[in-house]
Amino acid sequence: MSDSLRGAAVIGQSGGPTAVINQSLAGYVLEAVGQERISRVLGARHGVQGLLEDRLVDLGAEPRERIEAVAKVPAAALGSVRKKPGPEEVERMVETFRRHDIRFFFYIGGNDSAETAHIVERQAAELGWEMRCFHVPKTIDNDLRVTDHCPGYGSAARFVAHAFQGDDRDNRSLPGVKIDVVMGRHAGWLTAAGTLGRRDETDGPHLVYVPERVFDPDRFLADVAAVHERLGRCLVAVSEGIHDADGRPFLQVYAERAGSALAGQKDSHGNVQLSGTGALGDALANLVKEALPGVRVRADTFGYLQRSFPVDVSPVDAAEAREVGRAAVRAAVSGDHASGSIALRRIEGGDYRSEVFVAPLESVAKVTRNLPEEFLAGDNGIAPAFRDYALPLTGGLQPMADLELIPA
């Protein structure tokens, strides 16, 4: 590994948007501009797609005020992509690197992006092109290994917590059963965040179903009936990825049972489409309507608002997203690492603080991280330990206020 490696740097953004992905982009630009070893500060349009098509932009030429303005805007300012490049494609990417003398590659994304950075690193070395490859973590799903948490999660968690605070007031106001579907195909981190604004057990969500547990429709109906009996209402948080004991998505099970078009669409990979549709919420609402006739039942699916709502960003999350972008550049030019994934570590004691460190790419790639047992309570609840973990990441939440309602 050469300590004197010099050349251009390029960054790409990959996967689903977050509210703070452009903070990491801004951190990269602001740290990279002026670095002695970095000759040009570039960006690729739509991630690896832009590297394949040679669609590169000169981020170093953007005025600083514009970078700061874009940092506050959700979703990928460079454009994103969902694509895992094959060997031939990586070879073409390395050609692009050679053509532009790119020696530093940064990829903002989830575990797929860490894997892409890892593949690029190995194949570039095989092709004789020395370079540094760094993964900058980003996902509202919070499902990356190694890191304490992922930039993007704190803001999405804040949005979801606020959404449940408001919907709990709505459900108190006009009582009934309300089901809210939260993003999370494999892990329940974001759904669990729905509980962060609760003051006590009368506040919703009263029931929480996550993919870390098997979803049993009959137990679900019994749970809902019990809460409705006790409180006269029931607010439910459900991850889009709930599944049966065999791992089959609930919507697929429901489809087979109902033989119904209601049960959702399959995507081009044959997976049941879980996001960008209201089918899961509607299916669950239909079950409750059948089981509790006469009860007002509604379902909402929070959808893309969770990842791209522009004005409810966690300041903690924004600062950390900025910092991981900066840290990736520092690690790349330090000469201490040929590659790595930037991770966050919580500093023990006192108020919440975090610090960054560099993890091996292969420790982050591929496998996702689920909610640990200690954050779960029974089959339908979230444990207090989760609040200690997650609340600081949201930047803090104001409790909702009630009237005393003194009888006249």
Residues from 46 through 105 that contact a copy of itself (CB under 8 A) = 55-59, 61-62, 66-67, 69-70, 72-82, 100
For this structure, is 312 an active site residue?
no
Q: Which of 3, 58, 101, 141 is catalytic?
A: 141
Interface segment toward a copy of itself; rule CB under 8 A; list 203-211, 243-251, 272-280, 317-325: 272-280
Which residues, numbered 295-324, are part of the site for a copy of itself (CB under 8 A)?
297-305, 307-312
CB of 358 to a copy of itself, least distance (A): 27
H or E stretch at 208 = strand 207-209
Query: What Å distances lie between residue 240 and 79, 187, 190, 249, 382, CA to CA?
Result: 25, 9, 10, 9, 17
Question: 237 with 207: CB under 8 angstroms?
Answer: yes
The one segment of 130-138, 204-212, 213-221, 279-287 that binds a copy of itself by CB under 8 A: 279-287
Q: List the x/- string, 232-261, binding to a copy of itself by CB under 8 A.
A: --------------------------x-xx
Closest CA to 84 of 365, 368, 374: 365
In the list 174, 222, 226, 347, the residue contacting a copy of itself (rule: CB under 8 A) is 174
Q: Is 40 in the site for a copy of itself (CB under 8 A)?
A: yes
Residue placing its CB nearer to a copy of itself in the complex, 264 or 340? 264
DSSP letters along 315-377, please?
HHHHHHHHHHHHHHHHHHHHSS-SEEEEEEEEPPSSS--EEEEEE-HHHHSS---PPPGGGEE
Sheet holding 177-182, edge to edge: 207-209, 234-239, 177-182, 297-301
Backbone angles phi, psi at 60, to 5 degrees: -65, -20
Kindly tell me which of 216 and 312 has the beta carbon lying closer to a copy of itself.
312
Q: What is the smallest separation between the CB atom of 145 and a copy of itself, expressed in angstroms?
A: 24
Segment 180 to 219, residues that bind a copy of itself, using CB under 8 A:
none
Asked if 281 interacts with a copy of itself (CB under 8 A), we say yes
Backbone angles phi, psi at 7, to 5 degrees: 160, -170
Task: Report, in angstroms and rounded to the nearest whole number, the Rg of the chain calculated over CA atoms.
Answer: 23
Q: Which residues of 332-360 are buried (b: 16+ CB within 10 A; e: fewer)?
A: bbeeebbbbbbbbeeeeeeeeebebebbe
If binding is defined by CB under 8 A, does position 165 make contact with a copy of itself?
yes
Taking CB under 8 A as the criterion, the residue among 91, 219, 278, 330 binding a copy of itself is 278
Interface mask toward a copy of itself for 363-402; x: CB under 8 A: -------------------------------------xxx
Taking the C-alpha atoms of residue 395 and residue 390, their distance in angstroms, rounded to an integer, is 10
Give the count of residues interacting with a copy of itself (CB under 8 A).
81
For a copy of itself, the closer of residues 41 and 331 by Cβ is 41
Using an 8 Å Cβ cutoff, are 300 and 79 in contact? no
Q: Which residues are tagged catalytic?
A: 141
